Each structure stands twice: as C-alpha cells, then as structure tokens.
Amino acid sequence: MKNIFHIYSADIHRIIRNWAAGVIITGLAILPSLYAWFNIEASWDPYGQTSGVSIAVANLDKGTTLRDQPINLGKEIVESLHQNEKLGWRFTEDSENAIQGVRHGDDYAAIIIPENFSARIGTVLSNEPVKAQILYYTNEKINAISPKVTAKGASGVVEEISKNFIKTANGTIFEIFNTLGIEIENQLPAINKVRNLLFRLEKSFPELNEAVGTAAKDIKLANRLVQQAGTALPRLEEIATDGKAMAGALAEFANEAAGASKSLEPALRQDLEVLAATTGALSQVLDALGQADIDPKELASRLNAAQERAKTAAQAATRLGQLFKRLGSISPAAAAGAAKLEDIAARWTSAQTVLQTIAQAVERGEETPADAIDKLKKLNDDITGLTNTVLSRYDTEIGPAISKSFTKGAGTAKRVQHELTQALASVPDIQHLLKDAQKGLKVGGEEVQLAQSRLPEAELRITQLANRLREMEAAGDIQEVIDLLQNNFELESQFFAEPVTLEENRLYPIPNYGSAMSPFFTTLSLWVGALLLVSLLSVEVHDEERSFRSIEVYFGRYLTFLTIALFQALFVTLGDIYLLGTYVVNPGWFILFALLISTIFMLIVYTLVSVFGNVGKAMAIVLLVLQLAGAGGTFPIQMTPPFFQALHPYLPFTYAISMMREAVGGILWDIVVRDVLFMLIFAAIALMIGIALKKPINRASGGLVRKAKASKLIH
C-alpha cells in the first residue's frame, strides 16, 4: 500500500514541478469537455431552425367553377404557406424549376400543385368524384434527416386541406338540412290546419246524411247543416290550395334531403373506420406487455397513451351512438347501430380502467396482473368484433336504410301533393252537391232524394283523402324529421372534420434537444477523455531507484489517471450546466453521477491498456465504436439491428447514459440503483482482469513489446 501511494505522490509532484507536463495534463483535463460542449451546442434546437430548410412550391392550379362560384384551391394553399414560417418555402410558377432545384440540391424538396387540383376537388358533387393529388419530390442524398422534415411539411399541407374540406363540405350539407327544417317548421301550422279541417269534415258527413234523411220532418235543421257545409267548403279549398303548395315544397325538401344523405353516408363510415383503427392502440400495448425486456418507463408511457386513446374512443363512440339514435327515429337499422355503438363505448371505458390498473402495477414495479391482460385481450377482441359488425352492417343495412327513409319521405310528400290536387279538383263537385242540396230543401221533399244520392259520393272522396293522410302519418312523424334537421350545423361539421383529438402529456419535459442529448455527449466525452489519457500518458512506472510489484504499479498509476479523469468529469458537467445552460433537474446528482462514470470508464480503459498494452488501446477504441451504435444514445435501441439490440445490455454506455438521463429529466431511484449496480459489476470485472492478468500477460508479451519498440514506429 505504501508503494502505491509513493507512485501516486511522485506522479503528482512531477506534474507540479514540470510546467510542460502541467500544461499538457491541464489540456487533457479540458479537451474532452470541448468535445461534449461543441456537440451539445450544435444540436441545441435543430427542429427550431427548420425555417432554413428550402422547399420549392410550384402552383400550376388553373382553378374551377363550383356552383357558379370561381375557386382556386392552389392559390389558397400558397397564401397559407406564406404565413407558415416553420419551413423555408420558395415559391415558383415553373414545375421544372422546382424539380431542378431539388435535383441539384438547392432545395431539399419540392411540392407541385397540378393544373387540375381544384377541378378534381370539385368532382365531389358529381356522380364520379376523383381524388386530387399533390406531387412531392425529395432528394435523399443531400441529407439523411431532411427528407423526414420535408415529408412532415408536405403531409401537413395535405392533412390541413383534407380537414378543411371535410369541415366545409359537412358544414354545407348540415346547413342545408337546417334551412329546410326551419322552412318546414314555419309552414307546419298551415299543414296542421289542412289536416284538422279535413278530419272535421270527414266526421261531419254522418250528421249531414242524417239531416238529409230527416229533411222531410225537420227541413230547417237540414238547411242549417247544409249552410254550415257550404261555409266550411271555401275555407277547405283555400287551405287545400296552401297545402298543395306546401306539399310541393315538402317534396322538394325531401329530394334534397335524400341527396344530402348520400354525402352523409361516407362521412359516417369514415368516422366508424377511424374508431375501428383506434383498436390498434390496444394491440400495440398488448404486444409491448408481451416483451420481457421492455423498459418499464417506456411501457408505462405506452399504457398512459393507450388510456387517453381509450378515453377518446369511448367519447367518440358515445357521440356516434347518439347521432345514430337520433337517426333511428326514421330508420330502425340506425337504432340497432346505436345500441352497438353504446356497447363499444362501454367496452372502451372498461379498457381504460384495465389499462389504468396495469399502468399502476408497472409504475409500482409489480408484475403485470395476468387476469388484467386477459381481460384487456378480450375487450380488444370484443371491440374489434363489434366495430367490424357495425361497419359491415353500415354498408349493407344502416347506410342504405337511412337513404331509403329520406327517399320514402320524398315519395310520401309527392303522394300528399297528388291527393291534395285531386281534392281541389273535387271541391267544385262538392260545392255543386251542396248547392243542389240547398235547392232541394227549398223546393221541398221531392228534392231531398236528389241530395241523398249525391252526398255519399262526396263523403267517399273526403274519407279516402283522410285515410291516405293517416297512412302518411303512420309512416313517420314530421316533427321528428324537423328536429333531426335543425341541429347545430357548425358543431356537427366540426365534429365530423375531427372526431378524435390527441391530448399529449409530457411526464418528464425537457425544453430543448441539446439538453436531451447532453447525457449521451457527456458520457461519450468521458470515454474519449480516458482514451486520450492512455494515448498520451504511460501506464508503466519507470523508477531506477526502486522496483515495484506489478499490482503496485497497476493501482499506483491508476490513481494518477483517476485524478485527471475526475477533473475531466467536473469540467464537462459544470460547463454543461453553467456555460451552455443545459436543462438539468438534479444538477448535484448530475455531477456526482459523472464522477462515478468517469471513475469506472477510466478503470476499464486503463486496465485494458495496462494489461494488453497497445492492443488494449485498440480494444478500448473498438468498445467505443460498439457503444456508439449499441447503447441507444441517439435512437431507441429497438430501432437498431438485432446484433446491437443483443449487445445493448452488456455495454457500460447503456447504464451510464441511463443514469445521466435520470439526473437531467428527474430521478427514479430504482433505475439509478440498477444502473449503479451494473456499473460496479463492470468495475469489478476490470479489477479482476487487472489484478489477475497484468503480471502474466505483461511478462508473456515483453519480448513482443521490445521488438515493436525496436522498429522505432511504435512506443
């Protein structure tokens, strides 16, 4: 032990007394910090600087006319991009210029709006709608990341167009429904007046017949009844005339409603498909639960995200169920679909509860309950089955039934118009009959028989018209149709444009990319610092006055390397925090973790070089290269090839970076304890190699080392 500290103290005295050595050692202590600082600063906020990423935009759209209104959606897209400063948009009128800019690397991508873009959008009102296209070109050889950034910008343009189109189209459809519903409601008193008068007239005929039969006995009473009928008949003619016009408006409305329902069907089906696609979130969680090596933090994050999706899906299914229930007033098939959607909403709510139970177990570090997983699988199967059933029935039953109900309403309105026309045509006959009856009363009993022969014909026609009106009412209440049409068209169009929203919750928010990368670059700089030390400083002790044992040289010189390595850790961490201003939740632990990591890294690299010489340096470099790809410092380890995923648990970087990330984002001590234990295992392995193998390997390779030095090329 005395010789160990003698070697260490002698090294420190030499550094202090020899100013040249002191300058070099100081440089070695600071140099790794520069490596970390420059890389962190360079990656501080790369996604906040995308305004310099040039994307050429060529608008060739010639526009079109829709409902006698000129539109040019390409021009509107360009105007909106002028307000978008997230990317460097370069506008040109020439598509070849845009493509040439991408080909030569002046632009990272190009977006071309074709000549027929607006025209294709306008085909939505035709029998054969055609999807519009936006052409996107990218040059992937310029940069590996830029295609991902530009593709996000291009897809954002398409998503915004689709969202606004759905919102506008649905808004127009529901606004038409709303207007028609208000118009029908305004004319409802006139419709009811015609109906009531017709039924009253129908009920009056038995009394009229009785009066004619007893006309001989009570001619005055019969005359009064005939006068009442004659007074009521002009009112009936006037109201029937109004009713005929209203029935025509009702038929026109029903035709428009039937046409609008055809646009409603694909919108409802799209919403059901979005709801069906949400089941993928449960499948992904079940897959993650089946992975034995998944990070509990990642699993908890997925479970929490799945909870939010389940909640949103339950709300969406409930809203769709309410809409189908309202449609059920005119279509029994829609009512059946509403019941299925209520079952789907209930199962999504149950799935949310089960996901919460599993997430709580994962956060507590407990084993995932098997019964909860089984229940989640069953819920996933039930939801998938129910959703697919609704989708299938929507295509074959529900959608056609809704359209059929509107079409049936149109036919009924036409029949009413026809019957009222016939009734108006019958009014002159009825008037003539009443006049004849009145004349018959005046001339006496001989005319009563004539009146009795005409009254049954009038009664038959009125009764037939009343019966047909009852049949129409039995097919559906007009008030239910009015209530369905008078919904808030703005809210409904907004709902169908975006039926599901995503709410993001950041558990460990880090304000910038540079701070998020500081654990990786700081850890990397500590290993690089250890490599610099073994490359420039000797691991052997050359003392002509005293001789030392191999183990004394190993520990004595290691203390010297360790002292410099600790200074490297202090410089890089203090510079990260106070010079660059990186975000660190626990700065004290950040520094202490770096000191521990530097101690172990230095021990590993020092042991390799002390035992294996120059071969050990090569081994340390190879280990560095493997750790750059296999430690998950930049990309998630699951995105790397299987070889690196298999290597991941056995690399010191894996646990060093994890430990530093805990200090940056917020410490979970169970993760820190695990990382420290693995780091200590690596340290123990290095110590065993140094203690057990240094002397025999140094002795065996002595001749090789001397031969290599004799070449005057290798020191």
Question: Which whole number is the average pLDDT over 361-365?
Answer: 79
Question: Which whole number is the average pLDDT over 59-86?
Answer: 81
Query: pLDDT class for 252, splitting at 50, 70, 90?
Result: low
pLDDT at 322: 81
Q: Which two tokens stand for residue 309?
A: 């999706």
**More confident: 414 or 580:** 580
Q: Which residues lie closer than 8 Å to 463 by C-beta, 6 or more apart?
A: 202, 205
For 341-358, give one letter per residue: b (16+ CB within 10 A) or e.
bbbbbbbbbbbbebbbbb
> How high is the mean pLDDT of the chain?
78
Contact 516, 510 (CB under 8 A): yes
**More confident: 367 or 171:** 367
Alpha-carbon distances of 224 from 211, 220, 232, 443, 612, rounded to whole Å: 9, 6, 12, 15, 131
**More confident: 672 or 225:** 672
Q: What is the pLDDT of residues 668-698, one digit of tens each?
A: 999 999 999 999 999 999 999 988 887 787 6
- CA separation for the pair 396, 401 (Å, rounded): 9
* Sheet-wide strand order for 135-138: 88-92, 54-59, 109-113, 135-138
Residues above pLDDT 90, as percent of the chain: 17
Contact 122, 71 (CB under 8 A): yes
Query: pLDDT class for 169, splitting at 50, 70, 90?
Result: very low
Output the CA torsion sign for 696, 702, 703, 704: positive
Highest mean pLDDT, choosing among 28-32, 122-126, 566-570, 609-613: 566-570
Alpha helices in 278-295 (DSSP H): 279-289
Q: If we measure between CA atoms, which residue out of 508, 509, 507, 500 comes closest to residue 280?
A: 500
Question: Which whole number is the average pLDDT over 427-435?
Answer: 71
Question: Which whole number is the average pLDDT over 261-285?
Answer: 71
Q: What is the pLDDT of residues 190-222, one digit of tens each?
A: 666 766 766 777 777 777 777 777 765 667 676
Q: If we measure between CA atoms, which residue out of 530, 525, 534 comes closest to residue 628?
A: 525
Residues above pLDDT 70, as percent of the chain: 70
- CA separation for the pair 404, 148 (Å, rounded): 47
Q: Does residue 110 sit in helix, strand or coil?
A: strand
Least confident of 314-323, 325-334, 368-377: 325-334
pLDDT at 257: 53
Question: Which whole number is the average pLDDT over 560-565?
Answer: 93
Highest mean pLDDT, choosing among 335-339, 341-345, 618-622: 618-622
Alpha helices in 18-70 (DSSP H): 19-42
- Is the pLDDT at 650 greater than 90? The verdict is yes
- Is the pLDDT at 568 greater than 80? The verdict is yes
- CA separation for the pair 136, 151 (Å, rounded): 8
Q: Which two tokens stand for residue 321?
A: 């169920």
Q: What is the pLDDT of residues 588-608, one digit of tens each?
A: 999 999 999 999 999 999 999
Question: Which whole number is the average pLDDT over 65-89?
Answer: 80
pTM for the structure as a whole: 0.52
Q: What is the pLDDT of residues 13-44, one digit of tens each?
A: 888 888 888 888 889 889 999 989 999 888 88
Q: What is the pLDDT of residues 117-159, one digit of tens each?
A: 888 877 766 777 888 888 888 877 776 666 766 666 667 666 6
